[in-house]
Amino acid sequence: MLVLVAPGQGAQTPGFLTPWLELPGAADRVAAWSDAIGLDLVHYGTQADADAIRDTAVAQPLLVAAGLLSAAALGDISEIAPGAVAGHSVGEITAAAFAGVLDDTSALGLVRKRGLAMADAAAVTETGMAALLGGDPETSVAHLEKLGLTPANINGAGQIVAAGTLEQLAALNDDKPEGVRKVVALKVAGAFHTHHMAPAVETLAKAAGQLSPADPKVPYVSNKDGRTVSSGAEVLERLVGQVANPVRWDLCMETFKELGVTAIVEVCPGGTLTGLAKRALPGVRNLALKTPDDLDAARELIAEHAGA
């Protein structure tokens, strides 16, 4: 059984969209999306530097656009025929489009408002996120809470992401949980999935209220608790609430396992989620779409595992 997944913020790198725009019709498609949301996705995906695409208001629409574009290069979702779809953090909006809950334009409009709202919330206090490498999850969570930090992403495979103020993160660097080898700052501009994002929830709720979601055509696995969601309205409700609540990617991977996953394809800019799956789901085939050069191998994998 194939699972199609979409990465979250921090996966972007300067110029990563460039080779994808060389595919037939891709540049026109992205230009139309840019006009629809009032953001030059072509510029940010090809010419902007790392600091420019680190901006939450830019990074989030850029990631969703890249995910949609790379998936479309594989074929229609009915041809890909995943047994389930999921996304990490902002990737959940990409996955909602894969599942047919939102059309592409609606997904990009929603993520544009999400990015702006979260950027505004992040501007209130200097905050950030950092990944803990190694250590026992229960020990690490307790230690983070002692420092006033939130375990914002519990990613499985031994990885937890802490979020909070820069002062709290500095204290974490000086006082790591037992067994943690390293603390790595992430390329994000705020403490996402924490109480610091509460101001963005109301804004996003208003934006979601203007949409008419369809029920998922394929099982949609939610970051909230790893459960599959069969109602489009509930998908949107969860997307709104997730902004200020931890991502449980570990539970999503548990659900993939329960569903009988045999292969995972991660859309562009792939690599993060397949890396986690290699450690947490041994024996499952993984492929990350990084450039169009990966498309043929992805199609072969899909042909072997879709509908299985």
Q: How many CB atoms lie within 10 A of CB 196?
A: 22
Name the pLDDT band for 189 (thresholds 50, 70, 90).
confident
Confidence grade of residue 308 (pLDDT, cut at 50, 70, 90) = low
Tokens of 40: 């030059």
Q: What is the pLDDT of residues 3-13, one digit of tens each?
A: 999 999 989 99
Best CA proximity match to 268, nearest among 36, 62, 41: 62
Find the helix or strand (DSSP H, E) in which 54 lies.
helix 50-54
Residue 38 pLDDT class (50, 70, 90 cuts)? very high
Beta-sheet strands, E only, within 170-236: 180-185, 220-221, 228-229
Question: What gap in Å lies between CA 175 and CA 139, rounded to an integer?
Answer: 13
Q: What is the C-alpha separation between 98 and 107, in angstroms, rounded? A: 10
pLDDT, greater one: 151 or 159: 151
pLDDT above 90: residue 45: yes
pLDDT of the residue at 70: 98
The confidence score (pLDDT) of residue 186 equals 87
* Domains located in the chain, CATH noted: 2-122+194-305 (3.40.366.10), 127-185 (3.30.70.250)
User: pTM of the prediction?
Assistant: 0.95
The whole-number average pLDDT for the span 296-308 is: 89
Q: Percent of the chain scored above 70 by pLDDT?
A: 99
Average pLDDT over residues 190-216: 96
pLDDT of res. 158: 81
Mean pLDDT of 89-111: 98
Residues serving a catalytic function are: 89, 193
pLDDT score recorded for residue 299: 96
Per the prediction, the chain carries an average pLDDT of 95
